[in-house]
């Protein structure tokens, strides 16, 4: 007879519970220590530490310096024009005086260098009223010689004959020789370098051999010198005229060299001679008569 061996469900559950209870009873039931709240808190604090907060250092903001105010640019003062120093003028200086009678040769004299050196000379007239003189200067150091005076005049009366000669000196030892006279004569050497000009422009009058004062002339290309000279009693007229730059050695230009006969009125003319700023003087030769020169610029 077929038997159904399948146990009821409740029996199976009871057997399982019995077996589990029996197995658990043979071993000590492990005690589970429940940590107290304080220990748990400590353990939690030790084992699980909250990550240390990274402190972001507080950086004090660097104080930004206020920008230096831009200084307004200093106004550039226009350069002051440098005033030209006032020239220092000198007085004429007498370097030598000598005299004699007739033809003779003088002693030696030590003389300084002087560009505008003037020889003032005079010779007495003879009993017939005529006067003449040739005077030559010699430089012993250079061997050079120059005729300074070569004049002859008639009907001179008691005044004799006199004039001024241009006699530039290099400096050194000099002596002089006179000729063509039997009468008494005198001579004086005077240095006129660096003397003050007497005016601007030029309007000069002279007689015979003559050296004028200094005059200031301004730069001019069309520079014209108007000149005239009186005829002699015999009706002849002559004039040699040089324009010289003051205080500049060996700087003379001949601007007139004229001679005419049978003149009943003055001989006149014009000379064209360029000038630059500076002081100038005139030297006349080869005449015993009155002459005039005026200057004009026609630029």
Clarify whether residues 169 and 113 are in a common domain: yes
pLDDT in tens, 59-89: 455 555 556 656 665 666 666 666 666 668 8
Number of structural domains the chain divides into: 2
pTM over 0.75, yes/no: no
Clarify whether residues 171 and 226 are in a common domain: no
Evaluate if residue 33 carries a pLDDT over 90.
Answer: no
Q: Which domain holds residue 100?
A: 93-191
Distances, alpha carbon 162 to alpha carbons 107, 125, 133, 196, 229, in Å: 23, 10, 9, 25, 18
Per-residue pLDDT, 48: 43
Instruction: For residue 111, give the CATH number of its domain.
Output: 2.60.120.380
Domain-ending residue, one of 166, 191, 216: 191
pLDDT in tens, 129-151: 999 999 999 999 999 999 999 99
In a domain, 152, yes or no: yes
Clarify whether residues 182 and 234 are in a common domain: no
Evaluate if residue 241 carries a pLDDT over 90.
Answer: yes
pLDDT in tens, 163-178: 999 999 999 999 999 9
Clarify whether residues 247 and 267 are in a common domain: yes
Contact 174, 135 (CB under 8 A): no
Clarify whether residues 184 and 215 are in a common domain: no
Residues in the chain: 299
């Amino acid at each position: 007879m077929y038997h159904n061996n399948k146990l009821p469900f409740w029996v199976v559950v009871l057997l399982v519970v019995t077996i589990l209870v029996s197995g658990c009873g043979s071993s000590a039931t492990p005690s589970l220590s429940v940590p107290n709240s304080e220990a748990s808190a400590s353990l939690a604090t030790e084992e699980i530490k909250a990550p240390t907060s990274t402190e972001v250092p507080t950086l004090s903001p660097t104080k930004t310096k206020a920008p230096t105010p831009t200084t307004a640019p200093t106004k550039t003062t226009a350069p002051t024009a440098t005033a030209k120093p006032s020239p220092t003028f000198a007085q004429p200086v007498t370097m030598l005086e000598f005299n004699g009678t007739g033809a003779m040769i003088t002693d030696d004299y030590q003389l300084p260098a002087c560009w505008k050196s003037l020889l003032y000379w005079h010779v007495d007239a003879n009993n017939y009223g005529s006067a003449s003189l040739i005077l030559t200067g010699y430089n012993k150091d250079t061997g050079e010689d120059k005729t300074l005076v070569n004049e002859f005049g008639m009907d001179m009366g008691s005044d004799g004959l006199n004039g001024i000669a241009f006699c530039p000196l290099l400096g050194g030892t000099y002596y002089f020789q006179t000729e063509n006279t039997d009468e008494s004569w005198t001579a004086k050497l005077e240095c006129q370098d660096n003397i003050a000009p007497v005016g601007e422009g030029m309007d000069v009058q002279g007689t015979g051999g003559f050296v004028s004062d200094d005059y200031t002339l301004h730069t001019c290309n069309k520079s014209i010198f108007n000149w005239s000279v009186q005829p002699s009693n015999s009706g002849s007229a002559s004039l040699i005229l040089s324009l010289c730059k003051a205080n500049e050695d060996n700087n003379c230009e001949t601007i007139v060299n004229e001679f005419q006969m049978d003149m009943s009125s003055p001989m006149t003319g014009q000379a064209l001679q360029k000038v630059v700023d500076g002081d100038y003087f005139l030297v006349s030769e080869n005449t015993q008569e009155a002459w005039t020169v005026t200057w004009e610029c026609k630029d």
